[in-house]
Amino acid sequence: MSETASSTVSPRLGAAQVAALPDAVLIDVRSPIEFESEHIEGAINIPLESLESRFEEVPRKGQLIMVCRSGKRAERGAYTLMGRAFQPKVLEGGMLAWRQAGMPVKEGKKRLSIERQIQLVVGTGVLTGVILGAFVNPLFLIIPGFFGAGLTFAGLSGTCALGILLGKAPWNKLEVPGAAKECKKSSCCN
């Protein structure tokens, strides 16, 4: 998206301007894990991937301000909502600019985003496969080929199997406040 296209479609605001808006409704389009790590107080988390199907949760009153880490996903979210007759604006620079401006941030448990976890897994797998293929057995070069095929499929289909798998990993589960853990008599919890 070019600078001229984004400015005519969704005007950008600085962090100080957003904080000064009395009727601002902040929609954070980052993943729930990113949102839990840090977010602007009062922001509503509707991940970009589900914004189209959950647009009815977006309030119709107040000035909508789209937020993400750097502003790119927020801009895509603004385009999505404009197709639903909303007039959103984008927080220029996202959470990075908000923090840099010294604005208040509600912090939670720090976690690596799914995207960074994918990068780590793929990078480690490719590097390991290349090293093993060069020094142990050329058949290990199948490993980087596997990751390359997976990335190609993800790019073509818009579906990342590794991302889905990592999203289900126990360390990526969000804790629900007030949810009691059930323990059976034979479990390790007793």
Residues serving a catalytic function are 68
Dihedral sign for Cα atoms in the order 111, 116, 118, 122: negative
Number of helices (H), then strands (E), in the chain = 9, 7
The strand pair at 63-67 and 89-91 is best described as parallel
Q: Where are the alpha helices (DSSP H) in the chain?
A: 3-9, 15-20, 32-37, 48-51, 72-82, 94-100, 114-135, 142-157, 161-167
H/E segment holding residue 26: strand 24-28
Question: For residue 147, which of 120, 168, 116, 111 has the smallest C-alpha distance?
Answer: 120
d(CA 44, CA 117): 24
